[in-house]
Amino acid sequence: MAFLIGMPFFGYSQQVKIEGKVIDSSSKVLSNSIIIASDTESGNRILGFNTSDLNGDFRLLINLKANLIVFG
């Protein structure tokens, strides 16, 4: 199970910057995890995606409010 540290701030601006760190339940960093941002209405439309780096850090810049899905 993966957790995110550094929750995004969702506002009403055009673009939303999401950044954080992916860790497991024992606080071990999970590198190369896949982070997917999907729309909040249906969850079927992918708004952006990225992978975490060797330190578990990731960044996404999307245009809409989104749900995050992490595979690690």
Print pLDDT tens along the chain (72 aa): 555 555 554 544 467 788 899 999 999 999 999 988 887 666 678 878 899 999 999 998 887 667 777 777
Instruction: Specify the pLDDT at position 53.
Output: 96
Q: Do residues 44 and 55 lie in contact, with contact meaning Cβ atoms separated by under 8 Å?
A: no
Residue 10 phi/psi, 5-degree rounding, is -100, 120
Backbone φ and ψ of 30, nearest 5°: -110, 105
Global confidence as pTM: 0.67
Query: What is the reported pLDDT for 11?
Result: 47
Site of tokens 């850090």? 57
